[in-house]
Structure 1
Amino acid sequence: MFRMVKTEIWKLKRYHMIWAGVFLMLLSVLLTLFSTTALDGTVWTFSFFTEQVIKNNATTIFPMCIALIAGYIIAREGKDDTLKSIMTIPVPYSSLLWGKLLVCALLSLFFGLVSAAFTVIAVFVMGFPGISVTSVLQTFIQIILNCLFLYFAVMPVIVFAARIPNGHMLGTIIAFVYGYGGMFASGNVTLANIYPVTASLGLISYRSYDPAVHWNVLICLFSMIAVLMITAVFVFTAKGNVPVKAAKKHKKTTTKKGW
């Protein structure tokens, strides 16, 4: 498994799709900056800005982002016509899939780090009050862990889409709707703890200082365990989809009669 993960990390060098993930992390921060221009009397501080970035990541940007990139990495073997060569090695397809999923987990941590860095830079540029060493450290921990937990929440969608030939785009659409559903789930305390996307917020104690916010960490943890178990079932029952190229039909040449 270690060699598989190492090999997949080396493959990341030729995947330009990773830059799309970095851009989407920047987009999340830019969307939050755009919301600061609204004249609604909101007092923007470093902590409040961070919370809005986390909310945008969870409900609009990150589920779609990681589903797109993970699906692309998994589907690339079929598009590059290398899957049939890999399947000749006595390694089960489930192990190959686990290796790719572990690499995507590392990518989630990387994207969380990038998002946190963009957030801190934006606060310095805008000059929002409340920045300190403790608040910066908390921002990095919360955003990085939230991206990892969001990846866990989206993993069943990623693996399900991997079972369909060229299904990574379908998985991206499902992940976007799935993440956007967190906005509606957050309106109910019980549903917010059960729904995996919002449960990721509970595991990082998102806005836990607010008396109106009630997180049941145990239920949030069970929600993450449930999606990991569903992912494991999908992985162990998955089979490699080796694309079959249609053979070209040769046109029959008709011989001319006569001289």
Structure 2
Amino acid sequence: MIGIIRAEFIKLKRLHILLIGMIGMSFPAILSIFTQKVTIPEKQIRNFDFTTLFNHTVWNSTTIFMPVIFTLMGGYLINLEYKNDTLKNLSTIPISFPRLIYGKLIAMSIISILLGYYSYFITLIVGSITGLTVPDLTPLLKGFKQMTVLSLCTYISVLPIIVFTSRKQDAFMGGVVVSFLFGYFSMFIKNATLRSIYPILAGLTIIRFDTNQYMNTSGSGSFIISLITMAILLLLTNLLIIMSYSGNAHT
């Protein structure tokens, strides 16, 4: 399994999809600053500091960018095996196709966390360039912790979409569309319990993110229910892999 994961990282060095992911993860912070600048003065946030910037970046990442980027990259990595006709080659080596899929998904989980770190540092750079001041280290440490956990939770939330839409060659782009809608519709769920159940928002509950400013609701979701949601998504992903790929290239 370690060899498969290492191979995926070696492949990424030669693929433009990594660059696309990095560019995409630069936008949450940039969009946060841009929105603040173009908003009419009456709607602008008076004390726009690093804390506010991190909160905006977390919200934009969760509802727009992360679901799309993670689904695009994860689906692309799996789709390579169809394009490169790996199914035939696996008959000559002791690796089953399901094992290969697991390796790719684990590699993508590491990439998702690294992209979360990348987005965090981009936020620092964007904030510094635009002249935001940091009163103390608290918002920096909180932002780092939140981006780490949120990246993994958001990736887990789209895992079933990645696996389900990657069963056929080039079908993963449909998953990208589904993930976009998945994130977009999360903005309209205000009930605290539903936010703990809805996969995209469960990650926000886990990091204790205050959604009041973004969803006009201050009710806190359930941390336990959100963790259960993540566990169910991992179980569902495992079942989809078993059902979809167990008959391929069995060794």
Do they superpose with TM above 0.5? Answer: yes
The amino acid that maps onto 2:199 is P
Structure 2 counterpart of 1:201: 204
**Of the two, which has the highest radius of gyration?**
1
Structure 1 counterpart of 2:20: 20
Quick check: 1:71–1:168 contact (8 Å CA) kept in 2? yes
Structure 1 counterpart of 2:148: 144
CA RMSD of aligned residues (A): 2.0
Question: Is 2:121 the partner of 1:135?
Answer: no
The DSSP-based 3-state class of the residue aligned with 1:238 is: helix
Q: Which runs of 5+ in 2 are unaligned?
A: none
The DSSP-based 3-state class of the residue aligned with 1:237 is: helix
Structure 2 counterpart of 1:8: 8
Per-residue deviation at 1:214? 0.8
Pairing 1:18-97 to 2, within 5 Å after superposition:
18-37=18-37, 38=39, 39=41, 40-43=43-46, 44-97=48-101
Per-residue deviation at 1:11? 1.5
After superposition, the Cα gap between the structure-2 partners of 1:83 and 1:12, relative to the gap in structure 1 and judged at 3 Å, is farther
Quick check: 1:58–1:182 contact (8 Å CA) kept in 2? no
- Structure ranking higher in helix proportion: 2
Structure 2 counterpart of 1:219: 225
Per-residue deviation at 1:241? 9.7
Quick check: 1:53–1:119 contact (8 Å CA) kept in 2? yes
The alignment covers a number of residue pairs equal to 241
Distance in structure 2 (CA, Å) of the matches to 1:126 and 1:159: 40
Distance in structure 1 (CA, Å) of the matches to 2:21 and 2:34: 20
> 1:139-190 deviations in whole A, cap 9, x for unaligned?
11111211111000000000001112221101111111111121112x2212
TM-score, normalized by length of structure 1?
Answer: 0.87
| More divergent stretch after superposition (85-94 vs 117-126) | 85-94
Structure 1 counterpart of 2:192: 189
Distance in structure 2 (CA, Å) of the matches to 1:42 and 1:87: 60
Per-residue deviation at 1:81? 2.8
Quick check: 1:108–1:147 contact (8 Å CA) kept in 2? yes
Distance in structure 2 (CA, Å) of the matches to 1:193 and 1:130: 31
